[in-house]
Amino acid sequence: MSELRDYSGEFKPDLQIEDFSKDFLVKLMRQWSAAYLRMTELWNDAIVRRWGTEAAIPCEVEAWVRTSEITHPKIAKALNMEPKNIVDIMKLIQILPDGVGAGVYDPEYEIINENHVIMKFVRCRTLEFYEKRNQPERIVTVCQKIDPPCIERAVTVWFPNAEMKPLWMPSGPRSEEEKGKPPCAWEFKLKSS
């Protein structure tokens, strides 16, 4: 059977993901990633409507932290990798459904050594989404209250002695001048034991 470039034809009861072409799977992965992120936003909106923002924030942090603990090791296993240093963590972050591989963030990396990396996001579609929707409060919530503990746990699940710190991040919608600069940057370091 030839590779499927889409699924516009007849129904295939024995369909397998392996039946699709690489190009199609890349498009499909991007849509799965978008759905994954959209689900987070819809879930958050439902919590906020029912119980308010202050109830939603710890729930969202807990959900993302647990996602790191449960799914990141499975993704690493699928990649046939066991992270041994911070550069390996960057490789894993590239593949996660909510990040770089999903096309949500455009990063640049400064690799100081295998255990010390600075990652700058030169574009953040999440930030752009909240700016477009005129949701400055969500920018503060996501960038300053949710991302730090979640990014930290994505690394400390592998290396409890790692340090992550934001070098800068948005505190609300960016000015026109700020839109030409990277919206945030993070430093990742593995402390010596």
- 6 within some domain: no
Tell me what pLDDT residue 179 has.
87
Under the banding of pLDDT at 50, 70 and 90, the label for residue 165 is very high
Give the count of domains, the chain.
1
> b/e string for 134-155 if b means 16 or more Cβ within 10 A?
eeeebbbbbbeebbbbbbbbbb
Predicted confidence band of residue 104 (pLDDT cuts 50, 70, 90): confident
29 vs 99, higher pLDDT: 29
Each residue's pLDDT tens digit, 105-139: 889 999 999 999 999 999 998 899 999 999 998 99
pLDDT at 115: 96
Residue 157 lies in domain: 17-190
Provide the CATH number for the domain around residue 129: 3.30.1380
pLDDT tens per residue, range 3-57: 999 999 899 999 998 999 999 998 988 888 888 888 888 988 999 999 998 899 9
Per-residue pLDDT, 1: 63
- 181 in a domain, yes or no? yes
Does 1 reside within a domain? no
Work out whether strand 162-168 and strand 105-113 pair parallel, antiparallel, or are unpaired: unpaired
Structure tokens belonging to residue 97: 């459904």
Higher pLDDT, 177 or 115: 115
**R_g over Cα of the chain:** 18
Mean pLDDT score of the chain: 90
Residue 4 included in any domain: no
Q: Is the pLDDT of residue 99 over 80?
A: no
pLDDT digits (tens, 9 = 90+) for 80-91: 999 999 999 999
* Residue 65, in any domain of the structure: yes
The answer to the question of residue 10 being in a domain is no
From residue 14, alpha-carbon distances to 9, 11, 48 in Å are 14, 9, 42
